[in-house]
Chain A
Amino acid sequence: MAEDRNRVSRRDVLRGAGAAAFLGSIAPALQAQAKAKVAKGIARGGPGAVEVGFTINGERRKLSIEPRVTLLDALRDRLELTGTKRVCDRGSCGACTVWVDGKTCNACMMLAIDAQGAVVTTIEGLANGDRLHPIQDAFIREDALQCGFCTPGMIMSCAALHERKLRENMDSSAAPYRLSLEEVKEAISGNLCRCGTYTHIFSACLGVGR
């Protein structure tokens, strides 16, 4: 029986979507060139490398990458920002959580070209120099980590909650905020931990802001 390797995989779908976004945003000449390549059905899937630029942890970075490359892979393998982890590569574990324009995002579910012009923050950019973010401090204090593989994603989710709470509380004179356990659970409901650190993460978050 013949095994057909030309099944449609998620990467194909992503690639298709990415190519579409890409085609919509670049110069017509390039567009035509890319279309021609796709049409000929060459072995190398998708159009060739394209330029993309974004701000990462406060720094402008430019890359030349294939449109099908996810933001996650761009960070890890092209920009040497390996703190963001690849675990499922399918949006189901949260290990790759970063902030894109201030919002949490699974970097494995976003194409790097879709981050064109965006402001991206990764775990490496969370601390202010040597001064850790309060959530990072709290994670250490409460031992909210074991192997640490889920930790960057967990921290990005928790720190986003913390930042949001601070913003919401900005006008009120009571600067510290109060979190409920439910809010913390909700904030990391998309993050998996196999070592079982959840309960220590709860204490870490609940301890900050009080």
Chain B
Amino acid sequence: MSKKKLRLGFEGKEKTVDVQVPDGTPDPWGTDAKLDVVGKDHTRVDGVLKVTGRAKYSYDVHPEAMIFAKLLRSPHAHARVVRVDLSRAKALKGVLYTEGQEGTVVHYPGQHVAGVAAETEEILDDALRLIHVEYEVLPHVVTVDAARAEGAPPVLERRNKNVFRERGRGDGDLDATEAAHKQADVVLERTYTTQIQTHSALETHGCVCEWKDGELTIWASTQGTFSVRDSMARALDVPQKKVRTITEHMGGGFGAKFGIRYWDRFCAKAAQMTGRPVRYLLDRKEEHLVGGNRPDSRQVCKFSAKKDGTLMGADVRSWGTAGTSARAAGVFNPGIYKFRATYKETYNVLTNTTEGRAFRAPRYPQGVFALEGMLDEIAEEIGMDPLELRKKNDVHSVRLAQYEVGAKQIGWERRNERPGSGKGPLKRGIGMASGLWHHTGRRGSAVRCRVDREGSVTLSNGAQDIGTGTRTILAVLGAEELGLQPQDITVRLGNTDDPPGPASGGSTTASTLGPAARDAAWQAKQVIREAVADARGGDAGKLDFKRGKVVGAPKDLSFQQACGLLGEAVETLGRWHKGRNYPRFEEKVAGCQFAEVEVDVETGHVQVLKIVAVQDCGRVIDPLLARSQINGGVIQGLSYALYEDRVMDPGTGDMLNANLLDYKIAGSREMPEIVSIPFTVSNGINSVGMSGLGEPPTVPTAGAIANAVHNAIGARVRSLPITPDRVLQALGVI
């Protein structure tokens, strides 16, 4: 351990702290770190592969003699599978494997009842049609209201009720909240609702499985290569070392792709039974039906404040459904702002729909939509500028600075002093909302750095790049340590034979692997330094790696020449260290967004004109990629705010819009101007000072848009998505 000084914070607000740096690890970078490569725009290292179509996704893998698998799915939301007749399918030429789930009970539409593997996809189609299934249909409920109703049929036979209270650490204190309400000047009670959103990654779920000599290789579309390996090994009862997951490139996950699901097991099983490689990637309808979704919510909010804007009490009771799973349908509300007291009751409601899954910032966008709506309503009630109200009750130093940046960018002063006061049928308005997220990193992850005597550098880790740009970020960090450029570094990701890495959840991949990559490259640098000092003299500790050169020895060397002095290639293993000795600058990641919209009060159509997103992501490694990430979060948030909605038919229990036409996702025409501002903070969480950026930028968007709509039309839509009919209803026109 050695004691060092570390400067933390951001421009205009810095502080110096003492930290203990473990031996054999690089000094943490503070605000004053002099960096050549980090913090500059770099294009993706896999850009050429992706624009030429040469990047291989799991879907593109085609081992010799590969066959195809698919499951037959129930059209009923709740039914007993009385009989599955596979005989005609089995008799079809080219069908190689079948299974049936006779005697089971299906609990949601799309649950599997049989499966086939066949030589071609066409034979597979034919075979599935030839399977005859007899169902005994049981009563179902597919909406929260129906499931909560008196006398509703139980969703799961083994449970006799549908509504389950979820308790958690943040539930707060009812008495204190009631007392706070009593001392307040205004108390508002409002109900906010949000819809179910399906992840709809463009690459669907699934995998290609191949057995060779008792070992299984799974090319999976996954956010967790190691979780796929481990859960598959468990499911098949084979040792983990006999299973390998490969995910070289991945077409999006957004939280729905961890571990294995039934179809993966089926695929592995079919491969085992037929001795052929098998592919099963879901089709789009299956993806909507069973891939995953963000639970919905009904949030009954009671908030109070003093006339001067001091927030007093927040009481939120929420109901939501994660389908057949009685968990994770809760919402995140207070937490951004300081209240005197808070209280919440969360109810998970079972329905005969597919299980909810983690979805980019689980619980946050829905909770923040209600929270930020309530804040705006309070501001209006007490006659205060909504931004002032937030500043008064926010204690996060980063977000307080971000408010100024965002307000200036959008032109906050242009907002309607009196909501809805614009002239004519096209009314404009401006609104804002805040967000927060957590600093994360996963212990146990490691990055290998190999430098050979020709000077080529490879960083490797077994985790995946789900599209966020992890590969590039590792290349940038490796390049920084070794005085190279990102394209000089080869980054190998997505093969579980390489060192362990995290699943991409909680915005954790880059912030775990980045510091580990830096550590690995730094260690390699020490070895090269020693080799150069041994051969050429000089002080190893004084050798510097800059712009492809090693300087400080009696004579400068190129990086390649320096590597030529190595006895053998160097291999090091860098780790992510929990910054136990590095105090964080702030405990949470801050962000805020400002939106400007135009609403046609005759048609109810909402067009978002501009969004300004100011997002803390710790140290920004590559601003170009950071802006992409922020844009992505904003666009998904916009799509959630205005369009997406899974529609279940209460009568048949089926999903009515299980396709990409009727399940509307924002497209090019819906795009506003987006100003994404990565806000760099040296936060001390790890040796790089970086945080994840996957989730935070999607948290505030819906809230900001909803508040802008209110500012435009003077009426509030408290339900997502904000569709034209809801706008017209809020206006009292229909």
Q: Which chain B residues numbered 662 to 676 have a C-beta less than 8 Å away from chain A?
A: 665, 667-669, 671, 673-674
The answer to whether B671 touches A90, judged by C-beta atoms less than 8 angstroms apart, is: no
Of B225-233, B383-391, B417-425, B627-635, which stretch is located at the interface?
Answer: B627-635
Known: A136-B51, A197-B628. A88 touches B284 (CB 8 A): yes
Pick from B52, B202, B468, B634: contact of A124, CB below 8 A.
B52
Residue A104 is within 8 A (CB to CB) of chain B in the complex: no
* Cβ contacts A to B, 18 pairs, < 8 Å: A1-B136, A5-B128, A5-B131, A5-B133, A85-B202, A87-B204, A124-B53, A143-B47, A143-B628, A146-B467, A146-B629, A147-B203, A147-B249, A185-B669, A195-B467, A196-B632, A196-B633, A199-B674
Q: Which of B75, B203, B627, B668 contacts A189 (CB 8 A)?
A: B668
9 further interface pairs, Cβ-Cβ under 8 Å (given A5-B129, A44-B92):
A1-B136, A45-B125, A69-B122, A76-B60, A77-B121, A126-B52, A139-B51, A149-B202, A152-B51
Whether B54 lies near A146 (C-beta < 8 A) is: no
Decide if B202 touches A89 in the complex (CB within 8 Å): no
Instruction: Chain A residues near B46: list those with CB within 8 A.
Output: 148
Give Cα A152 to B53, complex, Å: 6
How long is the Cα–Cα vector from A189 to B670 in the complex, in angstroms?
A: 9
Q: Pick the contact of A143 from B134, B625, B634, B635 — CB < 8 Å?
A: B625
List, in ascending order, chain B residues with CB within 8 A of A152's CB: 51, 53
Residues on B with C-beta less than 8 A from A6 are 129
* Interface of chain A residues 107 through 152 with chain B (CB within 8 A): 122-124, 126-127, 132, 136, 139-141, 143, 145-152
Chain A residues with CB below 8 A from B636, complex form: 194, 196
* Cβ-based interface call for A198 (8 A): yes
A47 to B44: give the CA distance in the assembly, Å.
47
Interface of A with B (CB < 8 Å)? 1-3, 5-6, 11, 43-46, 66, 68-69, 73, 76-77, 80-90, 92-93, 95, 122-124, 126-127, 132, 136, 139-141, 143, 145-152, 155, 184-186, 188-189, 191-202
B622-645 interface with A by 8 A CB criterion: 624-625, 627-629, 631-636
Q: Residue-by-residue, is B296-333 near A (CB-CB < 8 Å gives 1, otherwise 0)?
A: 00000000000000000000000000000000000000
Contact A147 B466 (CB under 8 A): yes
**Residue B252 CB within 8 A of the other chain:** yes
Top 3 nearest A-B pairs (CB, nearest first) are A83-B53, A147-B467, A196-B635
Q: Which residues of B contact A (CB under 8 A)?
A: 43-44, 46-48, 50-57, 59-60, 62, 72, 75, 88, 91-93, 121-123, 125-126, 128-137, 200-204, 249-252, 254, 283-284, 466-469, 624-625, 627-629, 631-636, 659-661, 665, 667-669, 671, 673-674
- Chain A residues with Cβ under 8 A from B131's Cβ? 5
Which of B52, B55, B136, B467 is within 8 Å of A136, CB to CB? Answer: B52
Rounded to whole angstroms, the CA-CA distance of A184 and B668 in the bound complex is: 9
What's the least CB distance linking B137 to chain A, in Å? 6
State the Cβ distance, A144 to closest chain B Cβ, in Å.
8
Please tell me which one of the listed residues B128, B129, B137, B661 contacts residue A90 in the complex, with CB atoms under 8 A apart. B661
Contact (Cβ within 8 A) A92 B661:
yes
A140 to B660, CA, bound (A): 27
Inter-chain contact A87/B93, CB cutoff 8 Å: no
| CB neighbours of B59 from chain A (8 A) | 82, 85-86
- In the complex, chain B residues whose CB is within 8 Å of the CB of A191: 667-668
Is there contact, CB below 8 Å, between A141 and B660? no
Contact (Cβ within 8 A) A148 B628: no
Question: Which residue of the partner chain A has the closest CB to B43?
Answer: A140
Q: Do the beta carbons of A43 and B92 come within 8 Å of each other?
A: yes
B residues within 8 A CB of A146?
252, 467-469, 628-629, 632
CB-defined contacts of B660 to chain A, threshold 8 Å: 87-88, 90, 92-93, 192
B residues near A95, Cβ cutoff 8 Å? 202
The reply to whether B671 and A185 form a contact with Cβ atoms under 8 Å apart is yes
Complex CA–CA separation, A201 to B669 (angstroms): 13
Rounded to whole angstroms, the CA-CA distance of A92 and B636 in the bound complex is 18
A3 near B135 with CB under 8 A, answer yes
Q: How far is the CB of B317 from chain A (nearest CB, A)?
A: 33
Q: Report chain B residues within 8 Å CB of A189.
A: 667-669
In whole angstroms, what is the CA distance A46 to B129 when docked?
A: 14
**Across the interface, do A198 and B203 meet the contact criterion of CB distance under 8 Å?**
no
| Beta-carbon nearest neighbor of B41 in chain A | A143
Complex interface: chain B residues within 8 A of A11 (CB)? 125
Asked if A82 and B668 make an inter-chain contact with CB atoms under 8 angstroms apart, the answer reads no
Residues of A within 8 A of B126 (CB): 43-45
* Residues of B with C-beta under 8 A to A202: 668, 671
Q: Which residues of A contact B128 (CB under 8 A)?
A: 5
In the bound assembly, the distance between CA atoms of A124 and B660 in angstroms comes to: 26
Cross-chain contact A197 with B632 (CB below 8 angstroms): yes
**In-complex Cβ contact of B628 among A45, A126, A185, A200 (8 A):** A200
B668 touches A140 (CB 8 A): no
Closest A residue by C-beta to B636:
A196
A147 and B631 in contact, given A92-B659, A195-B467 (Cβ under 8 angstroms): no
Q: Kindly identify which residue among B43, B75, B92, B200 contacts A3, using a CB–CB cutoff of 8 Å.
A: B75
CA distance A11 to B126 in the complex (A): 10
Shortest B732–chain A CB gap in Å is: 33
In the complex, what distance in Å separates the CA atom of A45 from the CA atom of B94? 13
Q: Contact between A1 and B52 (Cβ–Cβ < 8 Å)?
A: no
> In the assembled complex, which residues on chain B have CB atoms less than 8 Å from the CB atom of A198?
635, 667-668, 671
What's the least CB distance linking A1 to chain B, in Å? Answer: 5
Q: Report A-chain residues with C-beta under 8 Å of the C-beta of B51.
A: 123, 132, 136, 139-140, 145, 148, 151-152, 155
CB closest chain-A residue, reference B88: A43
Q: How far is the CA of A150 from the CA of B252 in the complex (A)?
A: 10
* Chain A residues, Cβ within 8 Å of B136: 1
Contact between A149 and B252 (Cβ–Cβ < 8 Å)?
Answer: yes
Chain B residues within 8 Å of A150, by CB: 202
Q: Which residues of B contact A122 (CB under 8 A)?
A: 53
Docked pose: A49 CA to B659 CA in angstroms: 30
Contacts known (A77-B62, A86-B59); A132 close to B134, Cβ less than 8 A: no
Cα distance A149–B465 in the bound complex, in angstroms: 13
User: CB-nearest residue of chain B relative to A83?
Assistant: B53
Q: How far is the CA of A146 from the CA of B122 in the complex (A)?
A: 32
Let me know if B628 and A149 touch, CB within 8 A. no
Q: Are B202 and A132 in contact (CB under 8 A)?
A: no
A48 CB to nearest B CB, Å: 11
Q: In the bound complex, how far is the Cα of B204 from the Cα of A187, in angstroms?
A: 25
**Chain A contacts for B130, CB-based, 8 A:** 5, 43
CA separation between A126 and B51, bound complex, in Å?
10
Contact B52 A123 (CB under 8 A): yes
